């Protein structure tokens, strides 16, 4: 049973998806006017791991992440550089996607750009006006905060104690405050200023407000209510509070069932900011660090806690990940060099440990994605394995259990987005072996190489238990997929026909 800490209710809740076996997930993307920093990367990596875990647990996840490609910051940068806002946005959108690929973050299923979704945004503003939740003033449209009595429920603020967070001046110098019916109201549509990007709308030329973008794009691609909405903790107020208000006011239903917010990344225990000179871009860190090591560092802290980044922690992460990688190499060596000798291992406890490690990993990650705890479990297993196999020649009878240990380490680390390369993964097995492993051996992952390994273990165990029918089912099922099992003195080997 998966439990998720929900910002809105301040407690861990049992997770239940709207549709059985499916999850709709929306995570706010970047405003593309600069390269992303490692704080942004922390949030995106946290949600990448959450998504990978939910997929590994068998959910079909639809992951939507927007790109905010029209915004004051983009317009200002374009002015400074004598370029168009579209040029600036295109450059940094590409840079963002490149950086995400370098960091091993999976692409979202849908990556809508604000500038390509204007009709959906206009439609939402129209719905709000029709419902009496928004009003127009000379081409601007404002959301009427007091028309939504539950305003403040996400961030736990009381509407009567709030001050307006929007003290902008218009081009004509008139304070926006003077134009709004209530200082708390915020813009959902902004009238065009000269020379700025704009689109036709029922209120004249203009562009959408930032908060509105996410409400419109999530509604369009996921439908309401959807399961999980995420972002960094700095977005809870006002961005997400405003998203809730607009979306729920317009549809009259719940917006998102679970709100997940990631903690902030700090550098040497200080806030990361340009003025403090401790501002690190993801691409610069990845010049000198393997992406797996950065990810490993991040996984050692729970996603909701503040994360302290420093060179010492990076070095510790390198050492920690190397320990796991070395164990995988040791396992490979032991498997390849097994001899026909009595086993020097405690094979029975090792077999139980392989299963326990996987089960404990699941229990720990089910508890609000406790990656730090799950890494602790993997470390416990790695320490035991090392003490048993390091520097030893093992028996050919140990090979199946060592293969199981290898498969479980590779599988669990891949859930974190860390691929431990090994020779075993070089062969390309057909995807159809995954459902076969699921049917015969209860495999829950999606990696064909691991599925083959799990099937081989299943057959070895079946033979040991004299369950010839199951052993034959495995061999015949694999043969149908062109995978031939050969029994060698080193254990079963698979060749692809
Ligand atoms: P932005 O482009 O500023 O909207 O940020 C994109 C994402 O990065 C949002 O989800 C922010 O919450 C997140 N973010 C910004 N700064 C940090 C930080 N220092 N640590 C963690 N996440 C951050
Ligand atoms: Zn958003």
For ligand 2, a single-atom ion, which residues have Cβ within 5 Å? 28, 214
- Give the Å distance between the CA of 65 and the centre of ligand 1: 13
Mean pLDDT of the chain: 92
Q: Is 30 in the pocket of ligand 1 (CB under 6 A)?
A: yes
Q: What is the DSSP letter of 186?
A: E
Helix, strand, coil content of the chain in percent (nearest 5): 50, 15, 35
pTM: 0.84
- Give the Å distance between the CA of 354 and the centre of ligand 2: 41
The position carrying tokens 């590994």 is 56
Question: Whose alpha carbon is nearest atom 4 of ligand 1?
Answer: 30
Q: How confident is the model at residue 279 (pLDDT cuts 50, 70, 90)?
A: confident
- Give the Å distance between the CA of 284 and the centre of ligand 1: 17
The answer to whether the beta carbons of residues 132 and 250 sit under 8 Å apart is no
pLDDT of residue 179: 84
- Supply φ then ψ for residue 401, to 5 degrees: -70, -35
Q: How confident is the model at residue 170 (pLDDT cuts 50, 70, 90)?
A: very low
Which one of the ligands is nearest to 64 CA?
A: 2
Residues in the chain: 497
> Mean pLDDT lowest for which of 5-14, 58-67, 160-169?
160-169
Q: Looking at the predicted structure, is the pLDDT value of residue 22 above 70?
A: yes
Q: Looking at the predicted structure, is the pLDDT value of residue 207 above 80?
A: yes
Ligand 1 closest atom vs CA 42: 21
Distance of CA 329 to the CA centre of its chain: 28
- Give the Å distance between the CA of 21 and the centre of ligand 1: 30
Q: How confident is the model at residue 429 (pLDDT cuts 50, 70, 90)?
A: confident
Which one of the ligands is nearest to 247 CA?
A: 2
Summarised one tens digit per residue, pLDDT across range 25-49 is: 999 999 999 999 999 999 999 999 9
Q: Looking at the predicted structure, is the pLDDT value of residue 362 above 60?
A: yes
Q: Which residues contact 410 (CB under 8 A, 6 or more apart)?
A: 328, 419, 420, 422, 424, 425, 447, 449, 450
Q: Is 235 in the pocket of ligand 1 (CB under 6 A)?
A: yes
How far apart are the C-alpha atoms of 128 and 150, rounded to whole Å? 16
Summarised one tens digit per residue, pLDDT across range 116-138 is: 999 999 999 999 999 999 999 99
Distance of CA 181 to the CA centre of its chain: 40
> Mean pLDDT lowest for which of 24-38, 255-269, 382-396, 420-434?
420-434
Which one of the ligands is nearest to 256 CA?
A: 2
- Give the Å distance between the CA of 219 and the centre of ligand 1: 22
pLDDT of residue 348: 78
Summarised one tens digit per residue, pLDDT across range 446-478 is: 888 889 989 998 999 999 899 999 999 999 999
pLDDT of residue 425: 43
How far apart are the C-alpha atoms of 229 and 240, rounded to whole Å? 9
Q: Is 264 in the pocket of ligand 1 (CB under 6 A)?
A: yes
| Arithmetic mean of pLDDT, 159-174 | 58
Q: Looking at the predicted structure, is the pLDDT value of residue 167 above 80?
A: no
Tell me which of 354 and 424 has the higher pLDDT.
354
**Residue 228, SS3?**
strand
Query: How much of the chain exceeds pLDDT 90, in percent?
Result: 82
Q: Which residues contact 284 (CB under 8 A, 6 or more apart)?
A: none
The position carrying tokens 């009381």 is 158
Query: How much of the chain exceeds pLDDT 70, in percent?
Result: 95
Q: How far is CA 495 from CA 138, 247, 429, 477, 485, in A?
A: 72, 55, 9, 14, 7
- Give the Å distance between the CA of 88 and the centre of ligand 2: 20
**C-alpha dihedral sign at 91, 47, 302, 304:** positive
């Amino acid at each position: 049973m998966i439990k998720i800490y929900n910002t809105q209710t301040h407690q861990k809740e049992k997770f239940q998806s709207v549709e059985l076996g499916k999850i709709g997930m929306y995570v706010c993307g970047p405003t593309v006017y600069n390269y992303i920093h490692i704080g942004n990367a922390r949030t995106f990596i946290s949600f990448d791991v959450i998504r990978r875990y939910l997929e590994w647990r068998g959910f079909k996840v639809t992951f939507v992440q927007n790109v905010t490609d029209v915004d004051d910051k983009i317009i200002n940068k374009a002015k400074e550089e004598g370029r168009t806002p579209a040029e600036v946005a295109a450059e940094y959108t590409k840079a963002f996607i490149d950086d995400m690929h370098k960091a091993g973050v999976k692409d979202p299923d849908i990556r809508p750009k604000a500038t390509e979704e204007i009709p959906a945004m206009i439609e939402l503003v129209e719905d709000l006006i029709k419902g009496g939740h928004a009003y127009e003033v000379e081409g601007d449209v404002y959301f009427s905060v007091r028309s939504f009595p539950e305003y403040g429920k996400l961030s736990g603020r009381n509407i009567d104690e709030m001050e307006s967070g929007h003290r902008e001046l218009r081009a004509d110098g008139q304070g926006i405050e003077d134009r709004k019916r209530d200082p708390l109201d915020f813009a959902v549509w902004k009238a065009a200023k000269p020379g700025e990007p704009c689109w036709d709308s029922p209120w004249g030329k203009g562009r959408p407000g930032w908060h509105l973008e996410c409400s419109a794009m999530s509604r369009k691609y996921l439908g309401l209510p959807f399961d999980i909405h995420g972002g960094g903790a700095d977005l809870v107020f006002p961005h997400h509070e405003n998203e809730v208000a607009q979306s729920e006011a317009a549809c009259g239903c719940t917006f998102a069932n679970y709100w997940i917010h990631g903690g902030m990344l700090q550098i040497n225990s200080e806030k990361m900011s340009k003025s403090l000179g401790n501002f690190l871009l993801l691409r610069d860190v990845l010049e000198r660090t393997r992406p797996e090591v950065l990810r490993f560092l991040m996984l050692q802290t729970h996603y909701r806690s503040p994360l302290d980044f420093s060179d010492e922690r990076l070095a510790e992460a390198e050492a920690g990940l190397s320990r796991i990688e070395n164990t995988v190499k040791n396992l490979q060596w032991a498997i390849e060099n097994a001899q026909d000798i009595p086993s020097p291992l405690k094979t029975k406890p090792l077999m139980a440990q392989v299963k326990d490690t996987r089960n404990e990993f699941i229990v720990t990650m089910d508890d609000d994605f406790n990656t730090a705890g799950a890494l602790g479990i993997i470390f416990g297993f790695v320490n035991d394995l090392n003490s048993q196999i390091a520097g030893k020649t093992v028996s050919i009878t140990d090979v199946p259990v060592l293969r199981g240990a290898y498969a479980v380490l590779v599988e669990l680390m891949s859930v974190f987005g860390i691929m431990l390369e090994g020779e075993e993964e070089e062969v390309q097995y057909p995807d159809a072996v995954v459902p076969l492993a699921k049917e015969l051996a209860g495999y829950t992952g999606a990696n064909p190489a691991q599925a083959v390994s799990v099937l081989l273990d299943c057959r070895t165990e079946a033979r040991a238990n004299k369950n010839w029918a199951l052993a034959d089912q495995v061999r015949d099922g694999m043969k149908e997929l062109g995978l031939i099992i050969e029994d060698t003195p080193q254990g079963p080997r698979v060749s692809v026909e």
